Amino acid sequence: MKETTRETATDEYFLSYENLEIHELMLGDEARTGAYRDAILQNEALFRDRTVMDIGCGTGILSLFCAKAGAKRVFAVEASNVANLAEEIVSENDFGEIIEVFHGKVEDFKLPEGVEGVDIIVSEWMGFYLVHESMLESYLFARDNFLKKDGLMFPDTASIYTAPCQLPQMFEVWEEFSGVRMASFGQRLRAQKSIKPEIMQLHPSQLLHSGELLAWIDLKTVTREDVDDISETFLMLAQDYGNFQGVCIWFECTFPSVGDNLPITLSTSPRAEATHWKQTVIVLPDTSILTVEPNEAMAYELSIKRNPSSARGYTLQLDQIDADEVDHPIPCDCILTKCIVLKTHLKRLEGGEAEIEVDEENGESDNEEVSPSK
């Protein structure tokens, strides 16, 4: 058996990007391409006369946006042979004097003589659930080795979110399919899909909760080790009736802005414009499914950990937790008896305190001692 080393896995990763259908998919993703275009072109003041580095430039479209925004010089770095195509596209757009395409890994890049650093780094490095494929490492390498102290990163922050969800396309649809019951097929299909994460586009109505933050990442300061293990325990209350059948994961990235311009955010949420990343969904085994009602608590621990046996891979782990065994906020709006009782008790206490405060404003209080009449 051929051993897969970090080097061979990286080479295979870059080779996969020589398939132009992948670039067609990314270029046609208007939410993705539009976010970068707007973040760059609406903030021309940040790019004018600046030196820019584009990591993993692909066809060079981000480099072209930077040149259009007035960049003085752009280093477009691409490890795959698509670099040759990028050079053609740069020439086609008459930006050959501004954009220099470097065919190689950013880890092998050397700044030209006389260039002490770059003012801005741009890159579309994100993978499924943000960190899949580990392209973030190259982005951080460029930051640590080429970015000036006061330099900018596009994007400069990233967030990962999660929410419980229902998956009727994997459950109800097989109860009766074209007039035939296919429940046994659906059960085996779900068992197969629960082994690894699914990449799929959810409708907002499939979310049982608006979602909570798994991780917020400051790309100007984060280290590789910071994203080796991203884990959190969640307690969320169902916002409607439904079936807790899976856990949805998505991400957002935000770009710097200048003046009155609002920061541009690229979101892969089910509530945002669809992207080629879609959402990452962990399908629950049939034995773990819960039917929930509004304000019913759902609890789980979600971990995204770097896989030591896979150079560019992460392992996603989901552990469901009995909602009664985790700490609840005080007060809590869930329907557990203990939370209802505690919330009612607190309301009574607050009501009593409010009544005392009102009485004190009128010069009277239940706490005041009554002097005997003379």
For 128-142, the three-class secondary structure string (H helix, E strand, C coil) is CCECCCCCHHHHHHH
For residues 275 and 269, what is the distance between their CA atoms, to the nearest angstrom?
9
Report the amino acid identity of residue 61.
I
Name the DSSP class of 59. Answer: T
Q: How many CB atoms sit inside 10 A of residue 87's CB? A: 18
The domain ranges of the chain are 1-154, 157-347
Alpha-carbon span 255 to 45, nearest angstrom: 14
Residues noted as catalytic: 124, 133
The pTM for the full model equals 0.88
The predicted pLDDT at position 1 comes to 44
Superfamily of the domain at 1-154: Vaccinia Virus protein VP39 (3.40.50.150)
Phi/psi zone of residue 353: left (φ > 0), alpha (ψ -120 to 50 degrees), beta?
A: alpha
According to the model, what pLDDT value does residue 53 have?
99
Over the stretch 57-89, which tens digit does the pLDDT of each residue have?
999 999 999 999 999 999 999 999 999 999 999
Query: Which residues is 55 bridged to in the sheet?
Result: 77, 123
User: Rounded CA gap, 192 and 127, in Å?
Assistant: 23
Nearest to 141 by CA among 234, 223, 198, 80: 223
Q: Residue 236 belongs to what H/E stretch? A: strand 229-237
Average pLDDT over residues 294-303: 98
pLDDT at 312: 77
> Which letter, b or e, does each residue of 140-172 get, where b requires 16 or more Cβ atoms within 10 Å of its Cβ?
bbbbeebbeeebbbbbbbbbbbbbbbbbeebbe
Supply φ then ψ for residue 248, to 5 degrees.
-100, 140
Name 120's bridge partners.
52, 152
Q: What does the pLDDT look like over 201-241, one tens digit per residue?
A: 999 999 999 999 999 999 999 999 999 999 999 999 999 99
Burial of 274 (0-12, 13-18, 19+ CB in 10 A): middle
CA 276 – CA 204 distance, rounded (Å): 17
Q: Do domains 1-154 and 157-347 have the same CATH topology?
A: no
- 16 CB-contact burial (10 Å; exposed 0-12 / middle 13-18 / buried 19+): exposed
Q: pLDDT tier at 372 (50, 70, 90 boundaries)?
A: very low
The 3-class secondary structure across 251-267, one letter per residue, is EEEECCCCCCCCCCEEE
The two three-digit tokens of residue 156, written as one number = 């400069």
Residue 300 pLDDT > 80, yes or no? yes
pLDDT above 80 for 247: yes
Mean of per-residue pLDDT scores for the chain: 90
Q: Is the dihedral of CA 337, 338, 344, 345 positive or negative?
A: positive
Q: What is the residue-wise DSSP string for 273-336?
A: ---TT-EEEEEPPGGG-EEE-TT-EEEEEEEEEE-TTSTT-EEEEEEEE-GGGS---SS--S--
Q: CATH top-level class for 157-347?
A: mainly beta
Instruction: Give rounded-to-5 percent helix, strand, coil for the chain.
Output: 35, 30, 40
Q: Which amino acid is at 202?
A: L
- Cα(274)–Cα(271) distance, rounded to whole angstroms? 8
In degrees and rounded to multiples of 5, residue 315 shows phi and psi of: -110, 130
User: Where do the DSSP E strands lie in 35-168?
Assistant: 51-55, 73-78, 99-103, 118-123, 147-154, 157-165
127 phi/psi in degrees, rounded to 5 = -115, -175
Residue pointed to by tokens 């976010």: 35
Mean pLDDT across 311-334:
92
Look at residue 303 and tell me whether its pLDDT is greater than 70: yes
Beta bridge partners of 73: 51
